[in-house]
Amino acid sequence: MAKSRLEKIGTIVTRTQGLLRTGAMKWDDRPLWYDIVNAFPPKKEPCYDRPAPNVTLRPIFYTEDQIRAKFHKKIHSNYTVNLADTQNKTPTQRFIEIYCNLETQGALDDERVFEAAQEMLQEQLKEVKRDRGPPSVPNDEVQDSTLVPKGKTVKLQDIFKE
């Protein structure tokens, strides 16, 4: 058992080392960060009474983030997105591209650019849907009975009968 659970005594690294050394934690069950901290130890040992450094944080927002937020705030429809599909763009990506293209033309204000981008996105999505459509099967394959799996119907009552 660990000597103390108080954060003032020892660091999480020393406490984990103690658990591994005594066998309370198996080597295979060690945390993911343990090997990294041992390979690259911190310059200053973490201590509970050391004040946090006063570092200014840089804003990391991009213009696309603001457009994306506005898009998702105003348009409440949920689009289905396949994250494994890297070939096709998501509706949000398409909207951002359209919006940026219209905005660089500079003829409209932000609200009208947004509305025009919405309309153009709807048209693009309709075209994509129409192009994909249901998969067409040649007539020869439709008549082939091997393509249509014939399943056996099973009643739940028959399964539990003895």
Are 79 and 119 in a shared domain? yes
% of the chain at pLDDT higher than 70: 82
What is the extent of the structural domain holding 21? 1-52
Does residue 18 lie within any of the structural domains?
yes
153 assigned to some structural domain = no
The answer to whether residue 108 sits within a structural domain is yes
Looking at the structure of the chain, the number of domains it has is: 2
| Per-residue pLDDT reduced to its tens digit, 30-78 | 999 999 999 999 888 777 788 888 999 888 888 899 999 999 888 877 7
Predicted TM-score (pTM) of the model is: 0.50
The predicted pLDDT at position 98 comes to 93
Do residue 46 and residue 84 come from a single domain? no
Nearest in space to 92 (alpha carbons), one of 103, 79, 105? 79
Q: Is residue 57 part of a domain?
A: no
Domain check: are 77 and 126 in the same one? yes
Q: What is the pLDDT of residue 85?
A: 87
Closest CA to 96 of 110, 114, 109: 114
What would the mean pLDDT of 111-117 be, rounded to a whole number?
90
Q: Are residues 25 and 86 in the same domain?
A: no
67 and 17 fall within a common domain: no
Instruction: Specify the pLDDT at position 50.
Output: 83
